[in-house]
């Protein structure tokens, strides 16, 4: 791979002149002008096509993938083919899966215009629909939801491309006797948010999604419990810290989709909206709910007092901490990345950046500024900070590495991802055995044969250090929950 430094040295005279013209005309810095956000946006959605399970459509753009897991659900007597593989493995984990769809839908709702401007709105809807079509299958009855397909332990003992899987594909569900309010609540949020995303484009499909949302929300409320008590294996991989946040989050989305006051009543009687949180993620949705409530206040749907005012204040406290003007600021790496935790940190960075971009627009719409302990923050400053995180990911970092695969000239090539690391079945249809894949494709130093275009890896540590190795899965494994919030953020800054 050619480094950014080498490329820049070769093209300094022409590039510098072009950037100077851009700066003089538009008043933007050369560093920002050099990053092709539109291309990054396109690639960020391509990643979801690479994660597809089931029978691939004729317009599939990621051509090195093939059909896979066509019999998912057959052991349970139900068709659960389709949907998305979670990360670099071949399992469909329902809890992070649903959060992925909620975040993609939020992008399509709040950033519909920039997505359309950049020609990616239909691709965003396609990414959502591939996800929701599967979720509809996974919700065959009002109080039944399939929350996992595949055996996580057996899957992780093999290194096979999805097209060759020989591992068991059990289907796990929650029901009235085996509840999972967090899983049902998050899936209800996904359905409600996606119903809004499709409302103008396909009203019939939107109505179907909303029906599933209301049923699952009622199920989550009537049968309380954490989903890993019912789907125990899921707790080894995506354990939920509680279901209260999903119920508030789902209620906020359902109110936005229906304007039914009962959802506001449920929020008020929920026992609180989470207080000041330290992160927004697949496990902790409170900040998302707080920001949706802040929009309700801005739109005049609720009064700026009591629980509503507290939720808005708590959400703003998180935002202030992200932009380094709070009472307990989020740690930043020396290179400027918001750092939350060691495992797949960019998921949390991307989610935070999305919140900043959304709130920037909410403030702008009401001609307001954010009052932080460290001083006022304008909508433009919020968006600039969010953009700085995107820039870091796309190469403006101490390592001069793009943490988006296929973007730029220097990006990780040995990511922890079964399908990408094994030669395409289109090139060599010879089946790869469970253990054989480790020797041939995992324990080798050569780059992956397939570029997982648009995928965001877990990312560097708090010192900006990153090791490009398949063994280094805490840093080198991409996943749908890492990419999902970045789609909307890229649309907004492009």
Instruction: Return the active site residues.
Output: 468, 477
Phi-psi bin for 73: left (phi > 0), alpha (psi -120 to 50), beta?
left
Using H for helix, E for strand and C for coil, what is the string for 38-83? HHHHHHHHHHHHHCECECCCCCCCCCCCCCECCCCCHHHCCCCCCC
- Which are the contacts of 195, defined by CB distance < 8 A and separation ≥ 6? 206, 207, 209, 210, 213, 257
- Which are the contacts of 250, defined by CB distance < 8 A and separation ≥ 6? 185, 186, 188, 189, 192, 213, 216, 217, 220
Collapse the DSSP code of 147 into the 3-class scheme (helix H, G, I; strand E, B; otherwise coil) and give the result.
strand
Q: How far is CA 488 from the centre of its chain?
A: 9
> Are the C-beta atoms of residues 73 and 80 closer than 8 Å to each other?
yes
> Are the C-beta atoms of residues 398 and 348 closer than 8 Å to each other?
no
The two three-digit tokens of residue 38, written as one number: 């539109």
Q: Please tell me the distance from the alpha carbon of residue 469 to that of residue 455, in angstroms, as a whole number.
A: 15
Q: Please tell me the distance from the alpha carbon of residue 95 to that of residue 93, in angstroms, as a whole number.
A: 6
Q: Please tell me the distance from the alpha carbon of residue 244 to that of residue 348, in angstroms, as a whole number.
A: 20
Q: Which H or E element spans position 368?
A: none
Q: Please tell me the distance from the alpha carbon of residue 310 to that of residue 366, in angstroms, as a whole number.
A: 19
> Are the C-beta atoms of residues 148 and 234 closer than 8 Å to each other?
yes
Distances, alpha carbon 467 to alpha carbons 334, 396, 414, in Å: 17, 17, 9
């Amino acid at each position: 791979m050619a480094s950014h430094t080498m490329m820049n040295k070769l093209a300094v005279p022409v590039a510098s002149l072009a950037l100077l013209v851009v700066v003089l005309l538009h008043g933007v810095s050369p560093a920002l002008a050099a990053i092709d956000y539109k291309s990054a946006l396109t690639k960020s959605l391509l990643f979801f096509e690479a994660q597809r399970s089931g029978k691939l459509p004729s317009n599939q753009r990621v051509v090195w993938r093939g059909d896979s897991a066509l019999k998912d659900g057959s052991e349970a007597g139900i068709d659960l083919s389709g949907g998305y593989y979670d990360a670099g493995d071949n399992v469909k984990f329902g809890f992070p899966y649903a959060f992925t769809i909620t975040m993609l839908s939020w992008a399509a709702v709040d950033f519909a215009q920039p997505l359309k401007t950049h020609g990616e709105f239909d691709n965003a809807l396609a990414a959502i629909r591939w996800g929701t079509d599967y979720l509809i299958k996974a919700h065959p009855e009002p109080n039944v939801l399939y929350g996992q397909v595949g055996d996580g332990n057996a899957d992780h003992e093999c290194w096979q491309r999805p097209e060759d899987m020989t591992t068991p594909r059990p289907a796990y569900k929650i029901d009235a006797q085996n509840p999972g309010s967090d899983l049902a609540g998050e899936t209800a949020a996904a359905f409600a948010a996606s119903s809004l995303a499709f409302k103008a484009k396909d009203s019939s499909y939107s109505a179907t999604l909303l029906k599933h949302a209301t049923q699952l929300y009622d199920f989550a409320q009537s049968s309380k419990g954490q989903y890993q008590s019912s789907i125990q294996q899921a707790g080894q991989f995506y354990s939920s810290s509680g279901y209260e946040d999903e119920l508030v989050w789902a209620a906020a989305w359902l109110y936005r989709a229906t304007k039914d006051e009962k959802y506001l009543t449920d929020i008020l009687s929920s026992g609180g909206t989470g207080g000041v949180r330290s992160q927004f993620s697949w496990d902790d949705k409170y900040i998302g709910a707080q920001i949706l409530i802040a929009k309700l206040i801005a739109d005049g749907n609720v009064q700026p007092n009591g629980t509503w005012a507290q939720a808005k204040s708590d959400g703003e406290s998180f935002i202030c901490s992200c932009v380094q003007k709070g009472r307990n600021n989020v740690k930043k790496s020396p290179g400027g990345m918001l750092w939350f935790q060691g495992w797949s940190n960019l998921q949390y960075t991307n989610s935070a950046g999305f919140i900043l971009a959304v709130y920037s627009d909410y403030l702008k719409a009401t001609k307001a500024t954010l009052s932080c302990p460290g001083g006022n923050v304008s909508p433009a400053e919020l968006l600039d900070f969010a953009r700085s995180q995107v820039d870091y990911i796309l190469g403006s970092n101490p390592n001069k590495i793009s943490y988006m695969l296929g973007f730029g000239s220097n990006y990780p090539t040995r990511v922890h991802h079964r399908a990408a690391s094994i030669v395409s079945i289109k090139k060599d249809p010879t089946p790869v055995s469970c253990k054989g894949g480790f020797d041939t494709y995992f324990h080798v130093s050569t780059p992956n044969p397939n570029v997982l275009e648009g995928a965001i890896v877990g990312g560097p540590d708090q010192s900006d250090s990153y090791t490009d190795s398949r063994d280094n899965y805490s840093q080198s494994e991409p996943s749908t929950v890492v990419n999902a919030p970045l789609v909307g953020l890229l649309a907004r800054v492009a």
